[in-house]
Amino acid sequence: MTLGQLDRPSSSETLSDSEWRRQQEQWPAWGADDVVTDVPSVSSSVRIPFAQGSLVLVEPPPPWCRDLLVRISDLGSLEEGWDSYGARPVDPQCAVAAVDFLLTMLDATTPTPSIVPTKRGGIQLEWHRAGADLEIEIESPARLHVFFEDQQTGEESEATLAGNLGPLVPLLERVKAAR
């Protein structure tokens, strides 16, 4: 499953905050009629509302990730200063990266992460299970900041990843195994 594209109301590469104000559309109910055929070069797709535009999936997502996609969609409604301290709205490109991460790195056996906005416009995925803490901050589409701590063993690691997400596989497996 891959993310097809970011559908947005402007054809320009740079978007202003006002272009990404949330539309008053409802989250789509996924079922037999979920296919959207009006997306160029995508024959079977699903739109996830985000701000004024939408994220377009090439095919319907698996059932286990739908609640996660709803949460990411909800982050599109955050406006400048959502935390009352001047936090930025979530960057649509970070939302694309978060959806892509969820669809490529997680599966039905992965515990559900918390999904939270960051003050700089990113998205953070968090797992806190049985003394194992994994936090993945999507700072930009190409840059992740990762923090892992195992309170039982005292192990702690922190890294910034760009491109190669291979080091996350064993950390996600440890979160899966934590009970």
CA distance 46 to 4: 9
Which 8-state DSSP code applies to residue 176? H
CA distance 35 to 31: 9
Report the 10 Å Cβ neighbour count for 99: 26
Kind and range of the H or E element at 129? strand 123-129
pLDDT average, residue stretch 47-65: 91
For residue 93, is pLDDT > 70? yes
CA distance 117 to 133: 18
For residue 13, is pLDDT > 60? no
8 Å CB contact between 58 and 35:
no
8 Å CB contact between 150 and 130:
no
| Nearest Cα residue to 62 out of 27, 95, 103, 101 | 103
Quote the pTM value. Answer: 0.77
> What is the Cα Rg of the chain in Å?
17
Confidence at 175, pLDDT banded by 50, 70, 90: very high
Amino acid found at 103: L
Amino acid found at 53: G
Q: What is the pLDDT of residue 58?
A: 86
In this predicted model, what pLDDT tens digit does every residue of 103-117 receive, in sequence order?
A: 999 999 999 999 999
Q: Where are the domains of the chain?
A: 3-177
pLDDT average, residue stretch 20-35: 37
Amino acid found at 158: E
Q: What is the pLDDT of residue 45?
A: 82
